[in-house]
Structure 1
Amino acid sequence: MQIVTYLRVSTARQGASGLGLEAQRAAVSAYAAAAGHRLVAEYVEVESGKRADRPQLTAALAACRLHRATLVIAKLDRLARNVAFIANLMDGGVEFVACDMPHANRLTLHLLAAMAEHEREMISQRTKAALAAAKARGTRLGNPRGAVALLDGCRAAAAVSGTKRTAEAGARAAGLRPLLERYAAAGARTARELALALNVGGVPAPGGGSWYPQQVRRALSG
């Protein structure tokens, strides 16, 4: 079986340090080696599990469709802690396996996703309650430097975000180029024809939705 692996951590610090990523990579590598599966591609995301708009996950799913591969993750909560998200993914035409429960069926995955979502909500409620209690005791919350610290943080975040978006766009273009070449060899010559072929093939556009000729031109020039 051909597999595409998806690794996710929630913070930039975890992504830079490799904390969490190496453990996930080891889990999926052990799973692939034990079953004799062939790794096609690996996608790494630094993003909260709350967010549904994850470029690297989108790219990983596109790669699965392209290679007819199975998506492999270390743990179900690395994919999402959201029942609706997991349900939509299971109905999206891509098979996926969580290494911590490789033989789980659809019912089990729904139950595990529900438990993970409940856990996420409980953590959020406990955090809010702790902050409210601290505020009631007179504890000063936030950064004492105020707007200055916020501005510094915004500048740093903007720089990191720009670099991240550029890297993601390059990765998407590199993964998409073989597919575009195959469509071109089959007779799709113009950007409009290539966009139509991508839409018919079920390949998601970078921002979701349908492909347009201008997006294809950007992918070809990236």
Structure 2
Amino acid sequence: MSKQVIAYYRVSTGAQEKSGLGLKAQRDYVEASAKSQGWEVIAEYTETVSGTVAPLDRPEMAKALSHNLPVLVAKVDRVSRDVEHVASLMKRAEIRVATMPHATNFQIHLFAALAEQEREFIASRTKDALAALKRDADKGDVQAMEKVANRSTALAKGRTDTNRAKAHEAVQARVQTFLKSVQDHIELCIRRGAKTLPQVAACLNEKGITTSRGASWSPMQVSRVMASTGLTFG
């Protein structure tokens, strides 16, 4: 097993500093792991890009892979939250994770798959539980009606001017994060030869990139995003 490794860090928004996934936290994980395992970090690459961009489409990741050495990340989700992205990268390089220093590529792949499945299960279970509660309330179930009313009251209390402002800021943050992630993809499409709005739209659709509503791209939608992000064909 190679003792030399390449450190790779990824951040997408300023909010990640608060979530423990910021650059400093990642460096701490990597440095502690490298020290305990006797690995020598011979190069570091930092990417500011959304996790929705496939690792193999990221410029800094490409530089990290060019060394033909294991790539060390703080956590699996710094590679991607998409198990297909993780699997695709593993075909190109050995991945080492600071929080799981003894894990093999297979074990990391399995962990990523289980984590993705768990996220989907939790989201589905929550949605189903709320739907069932509403159905019971509509049928006249007193307890269900009370729970729905309590939930509505709690939501209403959260709708103060301050919270509405925070919610607006959160929405704007999500919009900016989405625009940033799409900007990266559009830039890659342009670099690869797309010279018109229809060509960029086709490029995005071929890559499986969807709009914020999960739909396919049209030239008009591409035009709006390029205008919002300042991108041009020049």
Structure 1 length-normalised TM: 0.54
Q: Is the 8 A contact 1:64 1:94 kept in 2?
A: no
Q: Which residue of 1 aligns with 2:192?
A: 211
Instruction: State the partner residue of 2:89.
Output: 89
Matches of 1:155 and 1:108, distance apart in 2: 36
* CA displacement at 1:57 relative to structure 2: 7.4
Contact 2:54 2:85 in 1 (8 A): no
Q: 1:23 aligns with which of 18, 21, 25?
A: 25
Shift of 1:27: 0.8
Aligned to 2:15, the other structure's residue is in SS state helix
CA distance in 2, matches of 1:57, 1:18: 25
In the alignment, is the contact (CA less than 8 A) between 1:43 and 1:56 conserved in 2? no
Is 2:54–2:80's contact at 8 Å kept on the other side of the alignment? no
**Secondary structure in 1 matching 2:8:** strand
* 2:76 alignment partner in structure 1: 76
Unaligned runs of 5+ in 1: 173-203, 215-222
- In our comparison, the structure showing a higher alpha carbon Rg is 2
Where does residue 38 of structure 1 map in the other structure?
A: 42
Cα distance change, pair 79–55 in 1 and its aligned pair in 2 (3 A): closer
Does residue 106 (structure 1) correspond to residue 105 (structure 2)? The answer is yes
152 and 120 in structure 1: CA distance in 2 versus 1, 3 angstrom threshold = closer
One-letter amino acid of the counterpart of residue 80, structure 2: A
User: Residue 80 of structure 2 aligns to a residue in which SS?
Assistant: coil
Q: Is the CA contact 1:6–1:71 (under 8 Å) kept in the aligned structure 2?
A: no
- How far apart, CA to CA, are the structure 2 residues paired with 1:37 and 1:151? 41
Percent identity (aligned): 29
CA RMSD between the two structures: 4.6
Tell me how far apart the structure 2 counterparts of residues 14 and 83 of structure 1 sit (CA, whole Å).
21
In the TM superposition, what whole-angstrom CA distance separates every residue of 1:26-72 from its partner, at most 9, and x where no partner exists?
A: 01122334422223322355x4xxx5326897133222134445432
- The question of whether the paired residues in 2 share the 8 Å contact of 1:4 and 1:41 is answered with yes
1:177: which partner in 2? none
Shift of 1:213: 9.0
- The residue that corresponds to 2:230 in the other structure is none
Secondary structure of 1:88 counterpart? helix
SS of 2:20's equivalent in the other structure is coil
Distance 1:120 1:209 in 2: 34
Give the Cα separation in 2 of the matches to 1:109 and 1:19. 21
TM-score (norm 2): 0.52
Residue 5 of structure 1 and its aligned partner are, at CA, apart by: 1.5
Number of matched pairs: 172
- 1:89 Cα deviation after fit: 1.6
- Hey, what's the Cα distance between the residues in 2 that align with 1:111 and 1:25? 24
Q: Which stretch of structure 1 is more off in the superposition, 151-160 or 109-118?
A: 151-160
- Compared CA separation, residues 31 and 209, structure 1 to 2 (3 A): farther
Q: Is the 8 A contact 1:3 1:39 kept in 2?
A: yes
